[in-house]
Structure 1
Amino acid sequence: MATLAAHSPVEAQPAHWTEGNPSEADLAHIPGEAGLPIVGNTFKMLADPHAMARRMVETYGPVYKNRAFGGWNVALIGADANELVLFDRQKLFSSEQGWGPILDQLFPRGLMLMDFDHHRADRRALSIAFKPEPMRHYSGALNRGIGKEVANWAGEMLFYPKIKQLTLDLAADSFIGIPWGPEADRINEAFVDMVQASVAPVRKPLPFTLMRKGVKGREFLVDFFTQETHKRREAGGGQDMFSQFANATHEDGSLLAVDEVVDHMNFLMMAAHDTITSSATSLVWLLAKNPEWQGKLRDEIIAVTGGPDAQGRPRDLVYEDLGKLDLTEMAFKEALRMVPPVPSTPRRALREFEYGGYRIPAGTPVGINAHYVHHSEEHWEDPYTFDPMRFTPEKVKARHKYAWVPFGGGAHMCLGLHFAYMQVKILMAQLLPQYRIEIAEGYDPQWQAWPIPKPKDGLKVEFKAL
């Protein structure tokens, strides 16, 4: 998997994404392969991107070229490559031009599609939504919403669709501050369509294509969020995330344009909705496979919250106690290592640079691979084993800082990472004191790797009341 940054094997990308891209001759000095005529290695990558990446590294080394999705990419593999691209000391790489071919029709002007000064200004304006007071408000909403839903989880279920619906409901409460009305199913469908369209082979919204469904989903959400933005500005105040965004200002005190608020809200709702769904699912799966760790987290949570109340219900995990769940955080970090919700990250080189002994021309689409590095024996002993103790302070300090990058890094570090930690910790605090999570003996679900990892069968689990 060189990168998610993709050109279509069926439809050419807009000129502004391909102008200045290097030719095959420009990349002749870099090892790699073109694959089949027209489609290149596209279908191999879609079938099993992780196996593809392993084979390419074993065959060509940690810098290789690959033709897929209608164009050439150069993969830069390793923790040093992660640091080079994510920290980007020399401002060599464009995130906008890396993600643009995938997301510009679906999530334009989201934070990931901004570079340098524009990105910094909008990130500063939006960061107000993640200050302590709004975060304390979100924690109350999360405790209420999760507690109410989890109380009814006894028995067998497919976990992925259940947690996906719950995260959408929680986003409605915490992000928008209202319960969803009759639009609920349509909003959920719109997000699903947009994410699936991000790796659709046909990049034009032709009738009956995934891209058409994704673009229609965006149109629906833009209309919904535009109306809501005007309502929030008229009302003023509000601790929910949308109200914070709607009233966010630039450094000169001017409000963000309505369409900017809408695009940021659309993007961050997708990011929170789908990435938290993926990471919560991987954690539940890994805890079911490792019941001894389930027990350790349960004991820690009970020690911090005080155990069930007089009615036998778990007590809320209050905002001030979030930092006390050390083992729970370490287990979540290990789940993010094993199943990073963003397996690879695209960029485009703005200038020529050298890495790993190779000259990379200006204009080259490049990508780093978090999943590969997260499973590299160079940094992780027995990397396919679940071991949260990898994240003790001592081991973290001794390890390459960019060997673990589920939230990205540098200027584009995920703005909502603390919200993700909070939501998953509250989920565990409501879930583990009530239930033992079990899966059938020998059960090992297959995971869809792209665009955001999920178990293909929905993850069959059973919650047994304690």
Structure 2
Amino acid sequence: MATLAQSAPRFTHWSQKLPADALAHIPGETGIPVFGTTLALVSDPIGYGKRMHATYGNVFRSRPFGVNQVTLIGPDANELLLFDRDKLFSSEQGWGPALDQLFPRGLMLIDFEAHRVDRRALSIAFKPEPMRHYSDALNRGIANGVSGWGGKPMLFYPAIKQLTLDLAADSFLGIPWGPESARVNQAFVDLVNASIGIVRKPWPGTAMGRGVAGRKFLVELFTAETLKRRETGGGQDMFSQFANATREDGSLLDVSQVVDHMIFLMLAAHDTITSAASSLLYYLLKNPDWQDKLRAEAMAVTNGTGNVAYDDMTRMELTEMAFKEALRLIPPVPGLPRRALREFTFNGYRIPAGTQVGISPQITHKMPEHWPDPLRFDPLRFTPEEVAKRHKYAWVPFGGGAHMCVGLHFAYMQIKILLAQVLTRYELVLEEGYDPPWAPWPIPKPKDGLRMMFRPLAD
């Protein structure tokens, strides 16, 4: 457990450095000159994390991307950082080294009172009335999108990535994409890749250069859309809700804030949902008995139509459990960083103020003391009885505390509708002997696109 020293925070920006020897008392590695542990982490992040945990235990230091940091492993560590009852950790300064040039004012990169005010304003977009509107749009868009998937081998990842982008245009923006669709998609790809670019300057030809250029394009696009929605009042789409959201004093959010929040939430709806859907279908391909169970549930809930009514979402209990198990095995965000604003102690180690601190869902989600036979796909781990037996913070794919993913219910809804629309039409077929390799970083995805076939049930 943790204790902390009661002193005023003196670190106000992530670029403020700790003394070189400040973490010398913590076990770990500094890596090679210049690159630190960056190359080892980027080349095999899962293997690297497992090796560090096995070698040094639940507290270890490393030096990725030129930043000395401490990783804390386990549910207690997750609760400490995410619940943060003492306002000890800064999410803004934690994500800063990776994201400050890409998502400088997204909801994940603001802290404490400023975060509370903006989150409260934005939460209007996830109230029942707009969510009911999104469910109608998702049913319509997914049914149309998956109708052409049947009867031929295909790559699932690029297909679902395009579909989620189209769905975001409908539910989030309330407009169909025009010729800018490919450029929007590429901008998000470049933003994600830039987050782990080894060169941190936006020089031409670098990942960071492409990421910053992608952000510039999205800012221009979404600024124009924000102004348009404020002029017309907009509709039920999420962007209109954000554009016209007000703070507690009745004032509108700044246009730049709306734009930054929208870019960040579009990333979540586009890239993390794509990752989550891919991992879930991968495990259903590998476990056809669970595919059959979810199909039976979808048939019963939708009367065979595939259209999930908003009021029936809670009836898709097995689908939700399967989704949670896929998120356990392949969390879309493998690591969550923070920065300690004051000194604290965890597991007997003194962690000084100013330390970059991270937790690792991808390691904690497979700790055998919390997850017996941890590599096995078993959605029944998420029955109410099993959940009650576990530490509340043993499963954290959506984060937790004040920074719990604001769109998590939208994610559940989109996945339930996707599975219902797919499984009432198709059998998911995996090529014999095929097991696709996964790129685990920065957002997990099947390296070769996930080859599969959607065989129409009538066949």
Distance 1:33 1:135 in 2: 47
Name the SS for the 1:367 alignment partner: strand
Q: Corresponding residue for 1:250?
A: 247
Report Cα offsets for 1:333-378 as digits up to 9, x if no partner.
0000000000010000000000010000000001000000001101
> Is structure 2 residue 421 aligned with structure 1 residue 449?
no
One-letter amino acid matched to 1:275: T
2:37 equivalent among 41, 59, 70:
41
Name the SS for the 1:462 alignment partner: strand
Map 1:171-182 to 2 at 5 A: 171-182=168-179
Distance 1:328 1:180 in 2: 30
Distance 2:445 2:337 in 1: 20
Report Cα offsets for 1:235-288 as digits up to 9, x if no partner.
114110000000000100011111111111111101111000000000011000
> Is structure 2 residue 349 aligned with structure 1 residue 363?
no
> Is structure 2 residue 347 aligned with structure 1 residue 351?
no
Map 1:313-332 to 2 at 5 A: 314-332=305-323
Q: Corresponding residue for 1:382?
A: 373
Q: Corresponding residue for 1:286?
A: 283
What TM-score do you get using the length of structure 1 for normalisation? Answer: 0.94
1:26 equivalent among 22, 33, 40:
22
Report Cα offsets for 1:285-305 as digits up to 9, x if no partner.
100000000000000111111
Name the SS for the 1:270 alignment partner: helix
One-letter amino acid matched to 1:360: I
Distance 1:140 1:358 in 2: 51
2:107 equivalent among 111, 114, 117:
111
1:104 Cα deviation (Å)?
Answer: 1.1
CA distance 1:439–1:254, change in 2 (3 Å): same
Name the SS for the 1:152 alignment partner: coil
> Is structure 2 residue 96 aligned with structure 1 residue 100?
yes
Contact 2:125 2:238 in 1 (8 A): yes
Name the SS for the 2:68 alignment partner: strand
Report Cα offsets for 1:135-168 as digits up to 9, x if no partner.
0000000001000111110121110000000000
One-letter amino acid matched to 1:176: L
1:39 Cα deviation (Å)?
Answer: 1.1
Q: Comparing 253-262 with 435-444, which one deviates more in the overlay?
A: 435-444
Distance 1:315 1:440 in 2: 25
1:58 Cα deviation (Å)?
Answer: 1.3
One-letter amino acid matched to 1:57: H
Report Cα offsets for 1:123-145 as digits up to 9, x if no partner.
00000000000000000000010
> Is structure 2 residue 149 aligned with structure 1 residue 153?
yes
Name the SS for the 2:153 alignment partner: strand
Distance 2:224 2:404 in 1: 30
Report Cα offsets for 1:209-248 as digits up to 9, x if no partner.
1111111111111111011111101111411000000000
Q: What's the % identity of the aligned pairs?
A: 67
Distance 1:416 1:48 in 2: 30
Contact 2:306 2:422 in 1 (8 A): no
Q: Corresponding residue for 2:69?
A: 73
Name the SS for the 2:235 alignment partner: coil
Q: Corresponding residue for 2:9?
A: none
> Is structure 2 residue 192 aligned with structure 1 residue 195?
yes
Distance 1:68 1:110 in 2: 23
1:425 equivalent among 394, 410, 416:
416
One-letter amino acid matched to 2:300: A
Map 1:231-270 to 2 at 5 A: 231-270=228-267
Distance 1:25 1:53 in 2: 23
Distance 1:108 1:67 in 2: 23
2:210 equivalent among 209, 213, 223:
213
One-letter amino acid matched to 2:27: P
Map 1:115-130 to 2 at 5 A: 115-130=111-126
Name the SS for the 1:380 alignment partner: coil
Q: Comparing 61-70 with 337-346, which one deviates more in the overlay?
A: 61-70
Distance 2:63 2:218 in 1: 34
Name the SS for the 2:36 alignment partner: coil
Name the SS for the 1:450 alignment partner: coil
Note the aligned Cα RMSD (angstroms): 1.0
Distance 1:67 1:242 in 2: 39
Contact 2:313 2:413 in 1 (8 A): yes
Contact 2:194 2:208 in 1 (8 A): yes
Name the SS for the 2:54 alignment partner: helix
What TM-score do you get using the length of structure 2 for normalisation? Answer: 0.96
1:53 Cα deviation (Å)?
Answer: 1.1
Q: Provide structure 2 residue ranges, at least 5 long, that are not aligned to the other structure.
A: 1-11
One-letter amino acid matched to 2:261: H
Report Cα offsets for 1:411-463 as digits up to 9, x if no partner.
00000000000000000010001111111222221111111100111111111
One-letter amino acid matched to 2:101: Q
Moved over 6 A (4+): none
1:28 Cα deviation (Å)?
Answer: 1.5
One-letter amino acid matched to 1:251: E
Q: Corresponding residue for 1:335?
A: 326
Distance 1:442 1:315 in 2: 30
> Is structure 2 residue 58 aligned with structure 1 residue 62?
yes
Distance 1:135 1:397 in 2: 28
Contact 2:298 2:306 in 1 (8 A): no
Distance 1:450 1:58 in 2: 20
1:398 Cα deviation (Å)?
Answer: 0.7
